[in-house]
Amino acid sequence: MDTQEHDITAGYTEQLARELEVVRAQRDHQMQRAAALSAQLLQSEAALADLEELRSRNEQLADELETALDEVESAYRQIANLTAELDAVHATVSWRVTSVLRAVRRRTKGQHSA
């Protein structure tokens, strides 16, 4: 092989070596990017699992709140019914007639405890 062919071959070899270095650098960069994306994916999956757990807990709390509101509404209805019943008792003739007896009893009860 003559000098000119040797120079061409050496130049070609150097060019291939440079291209190989570029390709290796690109490969290394892509591998780093893939590793970063993999870590990001793991974080996203963990965040999604947390979000699903929170969504489930939110639904559970919403159900509990609805039950509690139903119980409060029922208690208010019961209070209204008992108030109406007590008002009806207070409106009876016997309640009004016995009011004097209740007053006397309260006064005499107070004297005994003093």
CA angle 77, 58, 73 (to 5 degrees): 0
* Residue 37: HSE in the Cβ half-sphere, 13 Å Cα cutoff: 6
Q: With contact defined as beta carbons under 8 Å apart, do 61 and 67 qualify?
A: no
Instruction: Give backbone dihedrals phi and psi of 18, rounded to 5 degrees, phi first.
Output: -65, -45
pLDDT digits (tens, 9 = 90+) for 96-109: 999 999 999 989 88
Task: Output the pLDDT for position 1.
Answer: 62
Q: What confidence category does residue 114 fall into, taking pLDDT thresholds of 50, 70 and 90? A: low
pLDDT digits (tens, 9 = 90+) for 82-92: 999 999 999 99
89 contacts: CB under 8 Å, gap ≥ 6: 95
CA distances from 52 to 32, 38, 42, 46, 98 (A): 30, 21, 15, 10, 65
Number of H helices, E strands in the chain: 3, 0
Task: Output the pLDDT for position 97.
Answer: 92
Q: What percent of the chain has pLDDT over 70?
A: 96
pTM above 0.75, yes or no: no
Task: Output the pLDDT for position 58.
Answer: 98
40 contacts: CB under 8 Å, gap ≥ 6: none
pLDDT digits (tens, 9 = 90+) for 33-67: 999 999 999 999 999 999 999 999 999 999 999 99
